Amino acid sequence: MNDQKVLDRFNKNYIPEPNSGCWIWLGQPHCDFGYGRFGINKKMYQDHRASWYIFKGDIGNLCVLHSCDNTFCVNPDHLFLGTQSDNNKDQMKKGRTNGGPKGVPKSDEHKKNIAKGRRGKKFPRKPKI
């Protein structure tokens, strides 16, 4: 993608975390999925998918996975493409298959709310820094 206005707008929505190299998304949240979101040409993307599209190009029908396992990270160097099967295997390998928003560590409060029958979109996201 070669649109300087989109790039400038995207770059205002994250901060670099110096220890991990992650770029922590601070832009618009999308709590249903545990990711942020970003609009490009009147289409909404999950934040990490927007990062891939802006910095590396077309995604096609693939998933964008995190090598750093931080769903708040939008550093394109921490992202890689894979199939849905690859994504499922990655989640299992990293121990993130017990329900809830993808990749979001479950706090004690979150676990209590799930036990009470409340689910993901009612809870605010907290960046993993």
Residue ranges per structural domain of the chain:
4-122
State the pLDDT at residue 114.
58
Q: Which residue has the tokens 């809830």?
A: 100
Q: Are 120 and 100 in contact (CB under 8 A)?
A: yes
Total count of residues recorded for the chain: 129
Angle between helices 47-55 and 4-11 (to 10 degrees): 140
> Do the beta carbons of residue 54 and residue 40 sit within 8 Å?
yes
Summarised one tens digit per residue, pLDDT across range 58-116 is 999 999 999 998 889 999 999 999 999 999 998 888 877 655 555 555 556 656 655 66
Tokens 């990293």 belong to 94
Q: Name the band, by pLDDT with cuts 50, 70 and 90, for residue 33.
A: low
Pick the CATH number of 4-122 from 3.40.50, 2.40.50, 3.90.75, 1.10.3470: 3.90.75
* pLDDT for position 109: 60
State residue 117's pLDDT score: 54
> For tokens 């820094």, what's the residue?
129
How far is the C-alpha of 51 from the C-alpha of 19, rounded, in Å?
20
Binned at pLDDT 50, 70 and 90, residue 40 comes out as: very high
CB 65 within 8 A of CB 98: no
Lowest mean per-residue pLDDT among 9-13, 54-58, 97-101: 97-101
The fraction of the chain above a pLDDT of 90, given in percent, is: 54
List the single range of 8-17, 100-109, 118-127 with lowest mean pLDDT.
118-127
* Distance separating alpha carbons of residues 27 and 30, to the nearest angstrom: 10
CA separation, residue 115 to residues 3, 97, 111, 118 (Å): 46, 17, 6, 7
